[in-house]
Structure 1
Amino acid sequence: MEKGQSRRTAIKNIVAGTLALGASAALSSFTADNAENIEETNALKGNINHAVCRWCFSKLDLDTLCVEAKKIGIKAIDLVGPKDWPTLKKHGLDSSMCNGAEINLVDGFNDPAFHATLIKNYTEMIPLVAAAGYKNLICFSGNRRGKDDETGLKNCVEGLKKILPLAEKHKVVLVMELLNSKVNHKDYQCDRTSWGAELAKRLGSENFKLLYDIYHMQIDEGDVIHTIKENHQYIGHYHTAGVPGRNEIDDTQELYYPAIMRAIHATGFKGYVAQEFIPLKDDKIQSLKTAVKICDI
């Protein structure tokens, strides 16, 4: 479980409301203290489009999060649905990953029992996303519940093919998130990049992509930079968080985010990288500011 609250609970609530330097130099440049000392007036470099996930900062009202995000240079808020889009528009921020069509994280496209509900939900939501001027709409494989990889793939293809033509018509991208099944989301099926990439190949549409969650994939498979290089054509979005713990991405955890961001940028990626860590420090906004600076290569 994530600390403070689970993402599963947070998203359920939202849905319910919406239908290479030397080692010493490199480590020094990575410390939170140095990142915090960078002048606030420093413009971001523009190589990464920064976003932040709403649920991680749920103790702040959305207006406040939008104001603080804009000060940092963040362009978008992740994982908000239609009821919150007017607030984002008021502040001139994008909805970088829309939600509200999914049932939850465990009942997904890998099980035909949920196809009727999912097809109805996504058929209603896709035009709303497009009308609002947004692009990405999240989806989930769901839990295995005893299904092998091939059965899960076939079921996902069957369900997703029924809504992909509508997504293509409205220029909306359905984005399936990769989640770890080792720590946070036991039994989740889309828990390896290779499985998600195979699904994308079978669907054969630019309107289906993967959400490569760096935190989750470090836990379940590691080899993050190589995996991104080999599969970037199937990836439409990225999430960050510290490993272990899902907290700040500073030098208390094992991932070196500047190198990961350079790898993402080198693929020609033009989408969003969203911070999805749960801040432990008292100054939550400073933690967010530090994370953006670390990732702003």
Structure 2
Amino acid sequence: MERRTFVKTALSASAALSVPLTGRAAQASISKAEPFKLKYAPHLGMFKHSAGEDPIDQIKFMADQGFRAFEDNSLSSRDVALQEKIGKTLADLNMEMGVFVGNWNVRRGDGLAKGDPEIRKAFVEELAASVDVAKRVNATWMTIVLGNRHHRLEPDYQTANIVETLKQASAVLEPHGLVMVLEPLNHLHNHPDVFLSKVPHGYLICKAVNSPSCKILFDMYHQQITEGNITQNIDMAYEEVGYFQIGDVPGRKEPTTGEMNYRHLFKHIHDKGYTGILGMEHGNFYPDKDGEARLIQAYREVDSFE
């Protein structure tokens, strides 16, 4: 579809959402859409202009638009009562819970590559505490960021330190059927000193840990920047990929706003038999309520593969 045609279509869709209503009243004015082929997972705030500020109303709006999953990086920091309410809402709507971040303190600390016993102990304890969070929302996956590399320690020693830590963490998660997904982050634009930046390195680590509770979070935004060749990397690493995330380049906004051919990528992932979740970890390219309608229309466009 040409950009001019897409914009015209998106504007028509946004007009359908321009009735000045809020919350569930706004949703009631829109007939429920057909479910998307793949399980794209929006996050809170993505549709606040259409659904209102209430988190539960936002999740209900997502379901009405055909989204079958939801993710929330900040879930661990939310009140227990809200976590339980989110879990009940997802169950009532037959939606799946995507990732939440399972290691808040370590994520902001020295990371795991150094092999510090105290950091390792804190990391495993935090993951153990995340088990209860996961149960409240029926989650399977939690994002793990390994932290920064250390310039005075050989990279292979750092990898070995991380493997040992993740083996201990996997032993905590395996009895509960939970999976930590390791996220390679781009070191060229957003995270210049990060230790894990490439999918092949994540693949090596997961192979060494050798646990169903340790997999890769394949964020296609980061990998387009770091190494490109997304389709082949999906194929090479697929048996260790537990979760995908989405974001176009440049800008980290919804598909069709950048250089990536997400219609091709989604078809490729679908054809491989992937039945998991694809987290929408990106911003909205266009502002306000009209922008939210354009975002939904963009996903309809890239989800239209045969």
Q: Place the TM-score, normalised by the shorter chain, in its bin.
A: 0.7 to 0.9
- Percent identity of equivalent pairs: 21
- Residue number in structure 1 paired with 2:96: 94
- For the residue of structure 2 that corresponds to 1:262, the secondary structure is helix
- Residue number in structure 1 paired with 2:297: 290
Matches within 5 A, 1:265-284: 265-282=270-287, 283=289, 284=291
Distance 2:221 2:267 in 1: 17
Distance 1:61 1:274 in 2: 21
- Indicate yes or no: 2:73 matched with 1:67: no
Distance 2:220 2:144 in 1: 17
Q: Unaligned stretches of 5+ in structure 2?
A: 17-30
Select which of 190, 196, 206 maps to 1:190.
Answer: 196
- Residue number in structure 1 paired with 2:42: 52
Distance 1:76 1:85 in 2: 15
Matches within 5 A, 1:1-297: 27=2, 31-34=6-9, 42-46=33-37, 48-54=38-44, 60-78=53-71, 79-82=73-76, 83=79, 84-92=82-90, 93-103=95-105, 105-107=107-109, 108-113=111-116, 114-130=119-135, 132-146=137-151, 147-250=153-256, 252-282=257-287, 283=289, 284-296=291-303, 297=305
Bigger Rg over Cα? 2
Structure 1 261/215 Cα, relative in aligned 2: closer, same or farther at 3 Å? same
Structure 1 111/64 Cα, relative in aligned 2: closer, same or farther at 3 Å? farther
Distance 1:294 1:104 in 2: 39
CA contact (8 A) 2:46 2:292 kept: no
Distance 1:27 1:224 in 2: 23
**Residues 216-225 or 272-281, more deviating:** 272-281
Distance 1:151 1:183 in 2: 26
Measure how far apart 1:178 and its partner are: 1.6
CA contact (8 A) 1:36 1:289 kept: no
CA contact (8 A) 2:173 2:179 kept: yes
How many pairs were matched up? 270
CA contact (8 A) 1:80 1:97 kept: no
CA contact (8 A) 1:229 1:263 kept: no
Measure how far apart 1:104 and its partner are: 5.1
Distance 2:301 2:172 in 1: 38
**Residues 202-211 or 29-38, more deviating:** 29-38
TM, length-normalised to structure 1? 0.81
- Residue number in structure 2 paired with 1:11: none
- For the residue of structure 2 that corresponds to 1:162, the secondary structure is helix
Q: 2:217 corresponds to which letter in structure 1? A: L
Q: Unaligned stretches of 5+ in structure 1?
A: 1-25
CA contact (8 A) 1:225 1:260 kept: yes
Distance 2:89 2:245 in 1: 22
Distance 1:187 1:58 in 2: 34
Structure 1 195/88 Cα, relative in aligned 2: closer, same or farther at 3 Å? same
